[in-house]
């Protein structure tokens, strides 16, 4: 069964929460982070992406970057921007994006649960990114950003959280610059904390990493390192746990994760369309060059794809027999596109490292695909139907992995709402 542990959160002063809380480090590049943090010395981006305070030419993995992260983090604490709670609490973290609302419990997950596969993963990590977050966590001796976990919804937990929200005022409630509302309640009642934790321990058999594979992997590595350094550890030390928000699966929303490719792999358009037609039914749905209204094609169901090439939107439908229906991984749309088009036709062998392909989260809209192709930076774009949470959980339960860039969860958790210290 799974662990949900309370902890003494390190939190911004209430009047500073909106200045401190920032987007996750991995959804921004350095230039975007510099712009967002400009004029705001309280932004946690100074900790999560500390290169913004150094010369732009510096390598992201330079020792000075991690030293700057530690320096900035200590400044946040010494200046009282961040203050640690006096006791171990759980927290309720709610996000609202338009009409969509999701409410999770913020606490600590167990390194042992991660290592023993109680916490299920669905993606591989990249060594360079995992090494980076491991070093970052080690330098801070803290988890500055939470891992996004999910579990199969449970009525008892839902009722306890709903009742608490109705009866208590939030301690933080702000709308970020992107329009997403973030609300935080603090559960100080130790009996309620014990009750919630007990339900997870006895009735929630597994958890799933929705977003944050590199954060969770690096947290587990730091925990294992700390255990070696503290041979007589009891298992209760904070380094045995890492920061996470636990959401019920039925409240989450996965958006499409689209693809753009720089060229047609040296073939003519005629050859390209002929190869595509071998595996997909191909329909022209909008031709801007003939005066069509600018309306991207959005796939309406699994095994449908949108394709944008030279002012034209096509609908691709995977033909019967071109994928394995009984295999939870190979039946995914991202697998079908990769194995039937991206790899054999466009030569994208490994999308994790190939520089000819890039990925665009659905939050940017399909117009972003048009923009990238129309700019000449890319030649062709593919609009995907979102992977479902049931598909994710089924794959993880079977011990399998999804192809890279299969899911885009939205809204993103803010870093700096609550921080977990490892000592």
Judged on CB neighbours under 10 Å (0-12, 13-18, 19+), 117 is exposed
- Note if the pTM is more than 0.85: yes
What's the pLDDT band for 1 if we cut at 50, 70, 90? confident
pLDDT at 292 over 80: no
Write out the two tokens for 249.
């699966």
Would you give the distance in Å from CA 328 to the centre of its chain?
Answer: 21
For residue 124, name the pLDDT band (cuts at 50, 70, 90).
confident
How many whole angstroms separate alpha carbon 50 and alpha carbon 44? 9
- Give the model's confidence band at 290: pLDDT under 50 very low, under 70 low, under 90 confident, else very high: confident
Between residues 129 and 378, the one the model is more confident about: 378
Q: Tell me, what's the pLDDT at 123?
A: 84
Task: Say if CB 108 and CB 142 are below 8 A apart.
Answer: no
- Considering only CA atoms, give the Rg of the chain: 23
**Mean pLDDT along residues 324-342:** 95
- pLDDT tens for each residue of 269-288: 999 999 999 999 999 999 99
Cα 269 from Cα 257, distance rounded (Å): 25
pLDDT of residue 385: 97
Measured from the Cβ of residue 188, the count of other Cβ atoms closer than 10 Å reads 15
**pLDDT band for position 289 (cuts 50, 70, 90):** confident
Q: Across the chain, what does the average pLDDT equal?
A: 95
Rounded CA-CA distance 115/130 in Å is 15
Burial class (CB in 10 A: 0-12, 13-18, 19+), 301: exposed
Residue 219 is encoded by which pair of tokens? 């947290």
The pLDDT score that the predictor gives to residue 291 is: 79
Residues 127 and 217 sit within 8 Å (Cβ to Cβ): no
Whether residue 294 has pLDDT greater than 90? no
Rounded distance, CA 345 to CA 309, Å? 15
Give whole-number Cα distances, 4 to 108, 119, 134, 245, 349, in Å: 6, 12, 22, 10, 40
How many residues would you count in the chain? 423
Tokens 């967002």 — which residue? 36
- Out of 4-18, 156-170, 384-398, least confident range: 384-398
CB 418 within 8 A of CB 10: yes
Residue 78: what pLDDT? 98
**The token pair that represents 86 in the structure block:** 């006096």
Res 16: pLDDT: 97
Q: Is 422:238 a contact under the CB 8 Å cutoff?
A: yes
**What average pLDDT does range 304-313 have in this prediction?**
97
Q: What is the pLDDT of residues 166-192, one digit of tens each?
A: 999 999 999 999 999 999 999 999 999
Extract the tokens encoding 162. Answer: 């709903």
Residue by residue, DSSP assigns 54-101 as S-TTS-TT-HHHHHHHHHHHHHHHHTTSEEE-SS-BEEEEEEEETTEE
User: Which residue is it, tokens 């669905």?
Assistant: 122
Burial environment of residue 36 by CB neighbours within 10 A (0 to 12, 13 to 18, 19 or more): middle
Residues 2, 204 contacting (CB under 8 angstroms): yes
What is the rounded CA–CA span in Å between residue 295 and residue 279? 25
Q: What distance in Å separates the CA atoms of residue 144 and residue 420, rounded to the nearest whole number?
A: 7
- Which long-range CB contacts under 8 A does 52-60 form with residues at least 24 apart? 56/30, 56/31, 60/30, 60/132
């Amino acid at each position: 069964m799974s662990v949900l542990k309370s902890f003494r959160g390190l939190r911004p002063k209430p009047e500073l929460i909106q200045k401190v809380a920032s987007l996750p480090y991995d959804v921004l590049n350095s230039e975007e982070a510099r712009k967002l943090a400009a004029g705001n010395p309280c932004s946690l981006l100074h900790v999560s992406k500390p290169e913004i305070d150094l010369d732009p030419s510096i390598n992201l993995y330079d020792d000075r970057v991690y030293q700057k992260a530690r320096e900035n983090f200590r400044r946040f604490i010494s200046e009282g921007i961040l203050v640690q709670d006096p006791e171990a609490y759980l927290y309720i973290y709610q996000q609202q994006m338009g009409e969509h609302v999701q409410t999770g419990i913020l606490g600590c997950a167990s390194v042992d649960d991660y290592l023993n596969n109680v916490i299920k993963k669905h993606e591989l990590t990249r060594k360079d990114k995992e090494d980076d977050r491991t070093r970052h966590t080690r330098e801070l001796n803290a988890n500055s950003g939470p891992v996004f976990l999910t579990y199969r919804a449970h009525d008892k937990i839902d009722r306890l959280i709903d009742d608490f929200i109705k009866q208590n005022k939030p301690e933080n409630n702000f709308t970020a610059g992107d329009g997403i509302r973030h609300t935080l309640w603090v559960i100080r009642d130790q009996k309620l904390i014990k009750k919630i934790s007990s339900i997870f321990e006895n009735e929630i058999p597994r958890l799933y990493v929705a977003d944050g594979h590199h954060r969770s992997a690096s947290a587990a590595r730091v925990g294992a390192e700390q255990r070696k350094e503290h041979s007589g550890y009891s298992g209760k030390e904070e380094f045995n746990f890492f920061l996470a928000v636990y959401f019920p699966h039925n409240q989450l929303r996965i958006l499409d994760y689209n693809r753009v490719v720089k060229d047609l792999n040296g073939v003519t358009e005629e050859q390209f369309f002929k190869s595509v037609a071998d595996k997909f039914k191909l329909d022209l749905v909008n031709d801007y060059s003939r005066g069509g209204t600018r309306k991207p094609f959005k796939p309406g169901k699994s095994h449908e794809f949108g394709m944008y090439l030279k002012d034209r939107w096509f609908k691709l439908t995977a033909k019967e027999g071109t994928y394995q229906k009984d295999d939870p991984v190979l039946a995914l749309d991202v697998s079908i596109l990769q194995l039937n088009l991206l790899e054999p036709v466009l030569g994208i062998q490994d999308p994790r490292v190939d520089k000819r392909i890039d990925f665009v989260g659905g939050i940017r809209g399909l117009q972003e695909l048009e923009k990238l192709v129309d700019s000449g930076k890319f030649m062709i774009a593919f609009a995907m139907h979102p992977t479902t949470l049931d598909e994710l959980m089924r794959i993880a339960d079977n011990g399998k992995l999804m192809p890279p860039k299969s899911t885009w969860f939205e809204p993103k958790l803010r870093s700096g709402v609550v921080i977990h210290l490892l000592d």
